[in-house]
Structure 1
Amino acid sequence: MSNPEHPAATATRKWLERAVIGLNLCPFARAPYRQSQVHLAVSEATDEEGLLNALVTEIEALVARSPQQRDTTLLILGNGLADFAAFNDFAAAAEGLLDALGLEGVLQIATFHPDYRFADTPQDAIENYTNRAPYPILHLLREDSVSRAVDAMQDPDEIYHANIDRLRALGKPGWDALWED
């Protein structure tokens, strides 16, 4: 499942480097990425059972390692859940899986999708791009790491507002230019 040369992993690394880290959309991402503590895993599963199995595998691998070895995992759904509504439904099932595994409060899941859309926003609203990625992604985060990062900030809510301001200033043409080589 983990193939660093897979096209979905390559596209995700580019997105991490140019958007997430490059635009500072997540101020907590740079350090673990540079310290090789971010694991990218690609699942080729197309059905819910296969995707849940891939998720279990990555959850188990993450909790089996220390944060210094692997602080976070991005499970990239290479062929699954291209439909955003279906992805959202699956994300709810993924959260339920954390609870069933007794890992609520230990891990959390952030979601990214090529067609990500916040409730009550138009499809083409630039603020949706804060959570747009080249593939559907379930980002497994350690609660302790998130808590430490948030506690180190004066106003963590400012990240959201700063991201929207940054993307509005960049605009869709600027976003599209990020992907030009």
Structure 2
Amino acid sequence: MENQHYISATLQWVDDIVIHHNFCPFARYARYPGGIHCEVTAATADAGSVLATLFDECRRLDNDANIATTLLILTNEDAKDFNRYLDILAIAEKMLSDWGYAGIYQLASFHPDYQFEGEDSASPSHFTNRSPYPLLHLIRESDISKYMQNEEDAEKIYTHNMEKAQTLGCPYFRDKLKALKTN
């Protein structure tokens, strides 16, 4: 039950930010009825433990077609620092390939301090990838391909997200994320 807060806040973020603002057009299809699995790492987990959990989640997706996607919520100290999180992400992406999952699953990354390289640090665009807690989002590539067949232009998703973030502004997102972590 101690992990329930992390899961509740993360799923509320999916509903209130990702789906509500259509940052990921296929998220609403994965969200209901229960197609998103959340797994919380131990607060004491090291990078090796995180990778072991990621491997277990790949296996879970292999064995359960009802789960569309996994959100691995990282509660360990290393992941709280954005640069260390990026190190974990880089190793995780390499390991997906080493485990034979390249082309089967891909990782998307979300972090409370997410910042796109080369963007002004005050840009609202960073909030399209900011979540209440550090996440590794494990996605079935076949689902992405299936959805994208119906999408005329993948670039319009990115453009929409940047425009929407700019319109809503940093204070809106800061308040939303803060509320998720304190509820």
TM-score by length of 1: 0.92
Distance change >3 Å, CA 33–CA 109, structure 1 → 2: same
- Partner residue, 2:151: 153
Query: Please, which of 57, 69, 85 is the counterpart of residue 72 of structure 1?
Result: 69
Question: Could you list the runs of 5+ residues in structure 1 that have no partner in the other structure?
Answer: none
1:79 Cα deviation after fit: 2.5
- Partner residue, 1:49: 48
Query: Please, which of 150, 173, 176 is the counterpart of residue 175 of structure 1?
Result: 173
The amino acid of 1:71's aligned partner reads A
Question: Could you list the runs of 5+ residues in structure 2 that have no partner in the other structure?
Answer: none
Query: Please, which of 3, 10, 33 is the counterpart of residue 31 of structure 2?
Result: 33
| Matching of residue 105 in structure 1 with residue 103 in structure 2 | yes
Count of aligned positions: 177
Whichever structure has more helix as a proportion of its residues is 2
- Partner residue, 1:118: 116
In the TM superposition, what whole-angstrom CA distance separates every residue of 1:52-108 from its partner, at most 9, and x where no partner exists? 111111111111111xx1011000002241111111111111011111111100000
What's the RMSD between the two structures over aligned residues? 1.6
> Secondary structure at the residue paired with 1:138?
strand
> Secondary structure at the residue paired with 1:20?
helix
Is the contact between residue 127 and residue 170 of structure 2 (CA under 8 Å) also seen in structure 1?
no
The amino acid of 1:79's aligned partner reads N
Runs of 4+ in structure 1 displaced over 3 angstroms? 176-181
TM-score by length of 2: 0.91
| Matching of residue 22 in structure 1 with residue 20 in structure 2 | yes
The amino acid of 1:46's aligned partner reads A
Alpha-carbon distance between aligned partners in 2 of 1:15 and 1:25, rounded to the nearest angstrom: 11
Query: Please, which of 125, 128, 131 is the counterpart of residue 127 of structure 1?
Result: 125
Alpha-carbon distance between aligned partners in 2 of 1:136 and 1:147, rounded to the nearest angstrom: 25
Is the contact between residue 42 and residue 76 of structure 1 (CA under 8 Å) also seen in structure 2?
yes
